[in-house]
A and B are shown apart, each in its own frame.
With several copies, the nearest count.
Chain A
Amino acid sequence: MTLDIHLKHTFPTFSADVDICLPTPGVTALFGPSGCGKSTVMSAVSGLLKADEVRVVLDGVVLSDLHPADRGVGVVFQDGRLFPHMTVDSNLRYGMKRAQAGPVDFAETVELLGIGHLLDRRPGKLSGGERQRVAIGRALLRQPRLLLMDEPLSALDAGRKDEILPFLTRLHDDMRIPMLLVTHSIDEVARLADTLVLMRNGSVVAQGPVGDILTRADLDFASANQAGAVIAARIVSHDPTRGLTKLDAGGVMIWIPMIEEPPSARRRIRVPASEVSLALDDPGPTSADNIVSGVVLNLRETPDRRMTLVEIAAGQARLLSQLTPDAARQLRLEPDMPVKALFKAIGVQVV
């Protein structure tokens, strides 16, 4: 099943021409510099932008033929748009009342977003982050069949983000609600998104699975210290004394800090390229909990020649390591050379 977006629209000094085909259910991140047209795409999907040419198809339903109210799309707007004349409670319930009963629970959402104490207040008396959380809640409680979120977490602190992200992941995993997410944080992309759409200047530069796009050195991610490998893994066992969990990532055993999941549960992990050091021999006692033997697949130097990105095959998994071109030379790295990839358990992100 897919979400297809075809959009052509021209503003006086900007034109968007976008064709996107996304797998559903899944989380897609729209990523790109300010002013590249991300919000424009969102408006077109929600039906609020009367675009010159637009066709949006979700799992066979031609959304663009429907009135915005009938699309069943929950939107978190970049500029909030809470109803100023209603309490937080009424804001939250506005969409809920108009939707069929659905999987998103009022009490749970309020609890999770930490807005229970705000229910009686008007949006005018909220802090920036509080407003943003209410906006997220309003869109979720609308029981959407598609969720559009324009930088939903930008005003939130890391702690709050860490609480909300798993909730969004669960919406995706358990309730199979597809999401389109605009974000500037590669961390959010890695933790939430399956698919990444990279935009620039009104068009799509690249789209595909997050893992593929993030490891592409021709895109900006590498230089922005954002490259990394995303790997599907299965929990093998827990070691409570060491406080670690062992994962099987395509035949490679990887240790991560202990997580509360039953063995053989499947999780995705992300190993940032910056976390991975390479060594030729076994390095002796070190703080790297993971020492993975692999083979150099290829080396790519970034255009600015400040960094070399090395792709390593280890079992079925691919790892990425970023190092200075000098270090690559010192190690005389070349394709097919066996190497050890060293990284710490706490450097691995479970997404």
Chain B
Amino acid sequence: MWFELNNYEWQAIRLSLIVAANAVAMGLPVAILVSLLLRWPRLPFRSVLNIVVHLPLVLPPVVVGWMLLVVFGVRGPIGSLLNDWFGIRLVFTASGAALACAVMTFPLMVRAIRLSLDSVDSGLEDAASTLGAKRLDTFFTVTLPLMAPGVVSGAITAYAASLGEFGAVITFASNVPGQTQTLPLAIFTALQTPGGEEAAAKLATISVILAVGGLLLGEWVGKRLRP
């Protein structure tokens, strides 16, 4: 049957979902934080941060994967710390794939969140502070709910883009079936094989179905959040 899936394909689906979900879960809080930082006009090195945030968007995915390897590899500045202190190795693991996706989709999240953040009426935050809410309290009860459409949109974009992320994942996490072989890697592998078009089409269809699920969820949440 056309829609029979082999074991590796099931694994790829499961893995893709896990990786995409983890990428969003990892990236979103940081993206919110960075958006808030960037909103603050007197932040030192503001433009540097802004550039760094956008790097993954600008550079070819393979280069990003390459840079991740340099930074998060066992010999990299962060990777060696993670390895020495916690025994965490990211390369060749699903967490590494999620990290690659999180990094690649990070600029998309930040852009969406900033867009919403810019449209938050600061008068409402002011009102909250006269009602006794301190900075964090105001953030969680007023700012965050009002910027929620951007957060949701950013999360959904990141989820969808993670489902399609190829270059950075294969470079950083490599293509280990069952561990880091997400759907796009499986699709790519199929395409690189003479006669693999049908398998590729099947996997691409699955990818689209997974994404549509996320989109619908996002639209639904977005609608509920709108005041």
Query: What is A's interface to B at a CB cutoff of 8 Å?
Result: 46-48, 67-75, 77, 79, 81, 83-85, 94-95, 98-99, 122-124, 138, 142
> Is A85 in contact with B129, judged by CB distance below 8 angstroms?
no
Chain A residues positioned under 8 Å from B58 (CB to CB): none
Known contacts A83-B124, A85-B145, A85-B146, A75 near B227 by CB under 8 Å = no
> Is A98 in contact with B133, judged by CB distance below 8 angstroms?
yes
> Is A68 in contact with B129, judged by CB distance below 8 angstroms?
yes
B132 at the interface (CB under 8 A from A): yes
Chain A residues positioned under 8 Å from B123 (CB to CB): 77, 79, 81
> Is A99 in contact with B132, judged by CB distance below 8 angstroms?
yes
Q: How far is the CA of A52 from the CA of B129 in the complex (A)?
A: 20
Interface hit among B31-39, B41-49, B134-142? B134-142
> Is B134 in contact with A95, judged by CB distance below 8 angstroms?
no
> Is A94 in contact with B134, judged by CB distance below 8 angstroms?
no
Q: How far is the CA of A101 from the CA of B220 in the complex (A)?
A: 39
> Is A95 in contact with B227, judged by CB distance below 8 angstroms?
no
Chain B residues positioned under 8 Å from A95 (CB to CB): 130-132
Interface core residue of B131, B134, B145, B227 (most chain A CB under 10 Å): B131
Q: What are 27 A-B residue pairs whose CB atoms fall within 8 Å in the complex?
A: A48-B126, A67-B129, A67-B134, A68-B129, A68-B130, A69-B129, A69-B131, A69-B133, A69-B134, A69-B137, A71-B130, A73-B130, A74-B130, A74-B131, A75-B130, A77-B123, A81-B126, A81-B127, A83-B124, A84-B227, A85-B146, A85-B225, A94-B141, A95-B130, A98-B137, A99-B132, A142-B130
Chain A residues positioned under 8 Å from B131 (CB to CB): 69, 74, 94-95, 98, 138, 142
Chain A residues positioned under 8 Å from B145 (CB to CB): 85
Interface core residue of A79, A81, A123, A124 (most chain B CB under 10 Å): A81
Q: How far is the CA of A74 from the CA of B127 in the complex (A)?
A: 9
> Is B129 in contact with A122, judged by CB distance below 8 angstroms?
no
> Is A48 in contact with B132, judged by CB distance below 8 angstroms?
no
Known contacts A68-B129, A94-B128, A83 near B142 by CB under 8 Å = yes
Chain B residues positioned under 8 Å from A47 (CB to CB): 129-130
> Is A124 in contact with B227, judged by CB distance below 8 angstroms?
yes
The majority secondary structure among interface residues of chain B is helix
Known contacts A69-B132, A85-B145, A98-B133, A77 near B127 by CB under 8 Å = yes
Query: What is B's interface to A at a CB cutoff of 8 Å?
Result: 121, 123-124, 126-134, 137, 141-142, 145-146, 148, 225, 227
Q: How far is the CA of A85 from the CA of B129 in the complex (A)?
A: 16
Q: How far is the CA of A81 from the CA of B127 in the complex (A)?
A: 7
Known contacts A94-B141, A98-B137, A124-B227, A81 near B132 by CB under 8 Å = no
Q: How far is the CA of A288 from the CA of B121 in the complex (A)?
A: 55
Q: How far is the CA of A122 from the CA of B227 in the complex (A)?
A: 7
Give A104 Cβ to nearest chain B Cβ, in Å.
13
Chain A residues positioned under 8 Å from B137 (CB to CB): 69, 98
Give A98 Cβ to nearest chain B Cβ, in Å.
3
Name the residue on B nearest A68 (C-beta).
Answer: B129
> Is B130 in contact with A46, judged by CB distance below 8 angstroms?
yes
Chain B residues positioned under 8 Å from A71 (CB to CB): 130
Known contacts A94-B141, A122-B227, A124-B227, A83 near B134 by CB under 8 Å = no
> Is A83 in contact with B133, judged by CB distance below 8 angstroms?
no
Chain B residues positioned under 8 Å from A75 (CB to CB): 127, 130
Give B128 Cβ to nearest chain A Cβ, in Å.
7
